[in-house]
Structure 1
Amino acid sequence: MEELRKRVKELLEKGEIDGFLGYRGSFPYLFTDPADLKDLEVPSERYPLPKILISLFRRRPEGRFGVLVRGCEERGIVELVKNAKLERDKVMMIGVACSKEQASSCRCPKPYPDVPVLYGEKVEGVQARDDIERIEAMEEGERLSFWLYEFSKCIKCYGCRNICPQCFCDTCTLEEGDLVKRGVLPPEVPAFHLVRAFHMAGRCIDCGLCEEACPANIPLRTLYRKVREGVKGLLGYEPGASWEEKEPLGYLGDGRYEIPERLI
């Protein structure tokens, strides 16, 4: 922990960053005074720090900020840069590795970032898709009934959207009255959740925050992981894995991307 605090203190004192977005106790906090870094922690709790960065830059577009990143948060920042929501040269990432217990709980395939890790030890990821396989094994009608039941539990709190680091639109189609009726629960089944799933195609970083935030315990991560698998299998794209490779659904038709023959 001291190595992490020392590095952040150095960045602040040299003026290389205007602030550092990390955790004070269990909650997000923007450190601007090196004297406060004694309170900098790496808790087990997670918040969408990449999304909070967007708000910081809206207030301070000329600023440069450091941010604490786990593997999933680094992937999120990569995608936000590609979608012009963050500027790469204005973000200084400081890496932390998740513990074996955290990786197992999250079933994370890569529980550490590519940037240098200053806290924690890199552990092997968890390659598990039993949740997807269980649903894939169902008959089509059973699978449809399963999802309709899960979606019927939705209370339209927008927790999944609000916490998702990849939901960054200035206006949200899921608040349009023509698509999602106001004052009606549950929201249109299955339109509400399928529209959001389509929006996650090519963007979902598999952080699992949506499912953690859902008060109705809908297996949202399973849904988005299936969409994520489809994009990777059909288009060969994995969100957050590369700075150079652009999101395929963002530029189909401009001549730089060839549709695989199996899709034609």
Structure 2
Amino acid sequence: MSERESRLRSLAEELLASGQVRTFIGFGPGYEPSRPLPWFAQDPAGAAQLLLNPFCGATLARYLLDDGSPGPVGVLARGCDGLGIERLLADRRVSRDRVHVVGVTCRGAVDPDKAYREAGDTPLSAELEGERVLLTTASGTREFPRASCLYDRCLSCADPSPRWADDWLDEPLPPGKREFPDVAGLEQQDADRRYAFWTRQFSRCLRCHACRQACPACHCVSCSLDHPEWLDGGISLDNNFMYHFTRAYHVAGRCIACGECQQACPAQIPLMLLNDKFMRDIRDLFGVCHPHRPQEKEPLGQFCPDDPEGWREGGAQP
């Protein structure tokens, strides 16, 4: 057990035993060591099973909407979780006095599927050391490059720590700057090639709504995509285009770049490429340095007479 994991368990046990929170949301045992699952501890015994290791990958903020506890809820928050909580607070889906945030710094989460491909066996544990990942399997410990083992979303993460917390397990790190290299590459293609690219991607969509259900910014009580007068339930290329473009526009300016939509997609559609395009445009058009971080005044949540209207001259297409 790591020192941070021990501190997490002790703090969660204390919060639950004292009644400061009714539930603590973190990670607990999954069906194998490399796949811990979201864990809802409701007593000190449940807190004793909390895990904190490099395989803890899912963003936990969305689970605040699923918790039925009548009282305050504690939640473990890395950078992506913290942004998700801020998003829910800004959208008034969660009350600040109902959330007790325990912050922790994250240097990336190991993708168990990538780790299996690299190691050739089921990983039992992992350690992050700079640009290296040490994977332990039944046959021993081996070293691999960080980029070959971490989730893709973690490789471009600019927020290792939440921006605030009620308690900290370690020292927070300052945020960085998010870049969008894949967007530039796609924009260099002509319109026909871009259309062919998105046609290949969206033709695989099952319309399972996993992207919507995983997204901390996509949480309307009544979703327009569930209403047949706006979009019928049939799976076709036209409907799939409409579904994904509608969802992308609805979270534009609100996406926190956590990558949960893409991670949840069983068809492996690169949804973050579309979200990154919107974020890059918001940055360039409105001068918002960090469009994925919730702000007091958001560019697409208000109107100003001097708002940019670059589309009149024609702009790059997604």
Q: Answer whether TM exceeds 0.5 for this pair.
A: yes
- Number of aligned residues: 255
Which of 51, 57, 60 in structure 2 is aligned with 1:49?
A: 60
CA shift digits 1:81-115 (9 cap, x unpaired)? 11110011211111122225659532211222123
Work out which of the two has the higher radius of gyration on C-alpha atoms and give 1 or 2. 2
Amino acid at match of 2:76: L
Go from structure 1 to structure 2 and tell me whether the alpha carbon gap of 1:136 and 1:226 turns closer, same or farther (over 3 Å shift): same
The residue identity in structure 1 corresponding to 2:157 is C
What percentage of residue pairs aligned between the two structures are identical?
33
Deviation of 1:131 after TM superposition, in Å, equals 1.5
CA distance in 1, matches of 2:20, 2:307: 48
> Please, which runs of 5 or more residues in structure 2 have no aligned partner?
30-35, 111-145, 311-318
Q: Which AA in structure 2 matches 1:263?
A: E
Paired residues for 1:87-236 under 5 Å? 87-100=95-108, 105=150, 106=154, 107-115=156-164, 117-118=168-169, 122=173, 127-186=178-237, 188-236=239-287
Candidates 68, 71, 77, aligned match of 1:69: 77
- How far 1:189 sits from its partner (Å)? 4.6
Amino acid at match of 1:75: L
More helix by share: 1
Cα contact 2:76–2:101 (8 A) shared by 1: yes
2:228 aligned counterpart, secondary structure = coil
- CA–CA separation in structure 2 for the residues paired with 1:180 and 1:126: 37
**Cα distance change of structure 1 residues 181 and 152 upon mapping to structure 2, 3 Å threshold:** same
Gap change, CA 1:212 and 1:170, over 3 Å in 2: same
Shift of 1:41: 0.5
Superposed CA RMSD: 2.6
Question: Are 2:24 and 2:47, in contact at CA under 8 Å, matched by a contact in 1?
Answer: no
Deviations, residues 31-68 of structure 1 (Å, cap 9, x unaligned)? 12113322110242433422211122xx34x4111101
CA distance in 2, matches of 1:23, 1:81: 22
Matched residue, 1:10? 14
Shift in Å, 1:138: 0.8
Structure 1 distance, partners of 2:75, 2:21, is 10
Give the distance between the partners of 1:73 and 1:134, measured in 2 at CA. 29
Per-residue deviation, residues 103-139 of structure 1 (Å, max 9, x unmatched): 9532211222123541598598685422112101111
For the residues of structure 1 that align with 2:212 and 2:307, how far apart are their CA atoms?
Answer: 34
Bigger Cα displacement from structure 2, 9-18 vs 70-79: 9-18
Aligned to 1:263: 309
8 Å CA contact 2:9–2:48 kept in 1: the answer is yes
Q: Which residue matches 1:31?
A: 41
2:92 is matched with which residue?
84
SS at match of 2:66: helix
Gaps of 5+ in 1: 253-257
Q: Deviations over 1:196-226 (max 9, x none)?
A: 1101111100001111111222110110111
